[in-house]
Amino acid sequence: MNSQVDFPLSREAQRLKRSMMRQLIAVTARPDIISFAGGLPAPELLPVEAWSECSQRVLKDEGAKALQYGPPFPPLQAALAELMQARGVAVEPDQVFITSGCQQGLHIAGRLLMDADSAVVLDQYVFPGVRQAFGGFDRDLREVPTHVERGFDLDALEEATSPQRGPAPRAIINVPDFHNPLGTSLSEEARVRLVALARERNLALVEDDPYGLLRFSGEALLPLVGRAPERTIYLGSFSKLVAPALRTGWMIAPAGLTEESVDLESSAWIQRSLADFLHAGRLEPHLAQVRTTYRQRRDRMTTALETHFPASARFSRPQGGMFIWVELDDHYDTLALLPEVVEAGVAYIPGAAFSSEGGHNTMRLNFSNASPERIDEGMAILGQALRERMPA
């Protein structure tokens, strides 16, 4: 922590370190760098004009209401219930709570589920916001090893939740579709087993789902909330579907839980504009374009991985989302390599940024933000740097 702080801080605050990811993303935001580091949507696809029309119309027609405090906007709740119903999840509009994104949803879930010394189960590699939301000084974050193609290791999950491991954890946190950072999705069998385990051991499921609607290949599977609504806290977000700056998402939780427990007021203007965007049928054509573009970029990056990376590299083959996870041979150190490749004009996130320990030979590559030509160029530079470090 900053040594100029001249007042007492919580034990948790004293332990806070600046997130490695934030630091890296700041370095790699330079326009001359081909960045596979951030989790940013393709900038040229952000729906600037459509959003401008919807938000201006709302201001013009409902200005005073849009700029006032306001409860969750019923037409937005109804549109979101419809969106979930289209994915096979039976949900009523009044079960949909508006949040300011999945990150706020994670914090709310943490508040609802965790006491000062509770345990929770998560993947070995997670989006850092999960640790922020569920971690705490005396809390037990039980990590489960992950597989580069399958995600969560379900056998290890059983072990991590078994009574021999100590007090029962409160919840299992997961991203079943297009995991960040792994890019993996849970199979049908894994979902069935996960839900059965949660029921058997009386655990909540936190389904963090910012990417579920970004599927560009393979078959869509029913979200966990559609399988076990009575024990799932589901979190959706418009950050990757429309634009991160809207800071709006939604939460579905068992009836009666959220209403009394949390304050979920988010911007009335953004909520009304989003309702307008959805009711005008602007989401689907936008998503169709995003999916086509991301599929092309995923293909381009996968081909480049096969062409330029050492043949021993293992990597995930995402069917949606924004990320590919790469595991290299043990002698590679992706954190040590990064400054050198940034110098050569490319950036990625070392896998260690997502774990509490380990992951020195792994990296996360984002494929949504760079053009296909920049993907080719950047991957060739990265592959060259890795091949130069192959043992003779």
Ligand X SMILES: Cc1ncc(COP(=O)(O)O)c(C=O)c1O
Where along the sequence are the contacts to ligand X (CB under 6 A)?
39, 101-103, 127, 129, 175, 180, 208, 210, 237, 239, 244, 249
Report in angstroms how near the CB of residue 107 gets to ligand X at its nearest.
10
In whole angstroms, give the CA distance from residue 294 to residue 220. 17
Number of Cβ atoms within 10 Å of the Cβ of 289: 13
Q: Which is nearer to ligand X, 72 or 101 (CB)?
A: 101
Q: Which tokens sit at 69?
A: 């405090």
In whole angstroms, how close is the CB of 322 to ligand X at the nearest point?
Answer: 8
The residue with its CB nearest to ligand X is 101
Q: 346 — phi, psi (to 5°)? A: -135, 150
Task: Name the residue nearer to ligand X (CB basis): 34 or 182.
Answer: 182
Cβ closest to ligand X, residue 75 vs residue 244: 244
Q: In a 10 Å sphere around its CB, with 0-12 CB exposed, 13-18 middle and 19+ buried, how is residue 42 labelled?
A: middle
Between 39 and 183, whose beta carbon lies closer to ligand X?
A: 39
Distances from the Cα of 6 to the Cα of 2, 11, 16, angstroms = 10, 15, 16
CA dist., res. 113 & res. 129, Å (int): 16
Q: How far is the CB of 239 from ligand X (least distance, A)?
A: 3
C-alpha–C-alpha distance, residues 123 and 231, integer Å: 19
Minimum distance, C-beta of residue 351 to ligand X, in the bound complex (Å): 15
In the complex, least distance from residue 249 CB atom to ligand X, rounded to whole angstroms: 5
Do residues 178 and 317 lie in contact, with contact meaning Cβ atoms separated by under 8 Å?
no
Token pair of 157 as six digits = 């999950």
Number of CB atoms found within 10 A of residue 149's CB: 15
CB-nearer residue toward ligand X: 332 or 354: 354
Query: How crowded is the C-beta side of 121, counted as CA atoms within 13 Å?
Result: 28
Min separation Cβ 133 and ligand X, Å: 9
Residue 146 three-state SS: strand
Residue found by looking up tokens 């096979």 in the block: 88
CA distance 347 to 29: 9
At its nearest, how many Å lie between ligand X and the CB of residue 290?
15
Query: Toward ligand X, which CB reaches closer, 127 or 367?
Result: 127
Shortest CB 83 distance to ligand X, Å: 15
Q: Are 319 and 294 in contact (CB under 8 A)?
A: no
Nearer to ligand X, 101 or 378 (CB): 101
Task: Please give the torsion angle defined by the CA atoms of residues 211, 212, 217 and 222, in that order, rounded to the nearest 10 degrees.
Answer: 160
Nearer to ligand X, 139 or 240 (CB): 240
239 or 334: whose CB is closer to ligand X? 239
- Least distance in Å: CB of 277 to ligand X? 16
Minimal distance in Å, beta carbon 352 to ligand X?
Answer: 17
Distance CA 353, CA 181 (A): 10
Question: What is the torsion angle, in degrees rounded to the nearest 10, for the CA atoms of residue 171, residue 21, residue 48 and residue 237?
Answer: 0
The DSSP letter of residue 366 is: E
| 267: its two tokens | 């911007």
Minimum CB distance to ligand X smaller for 112 or for 381: 112
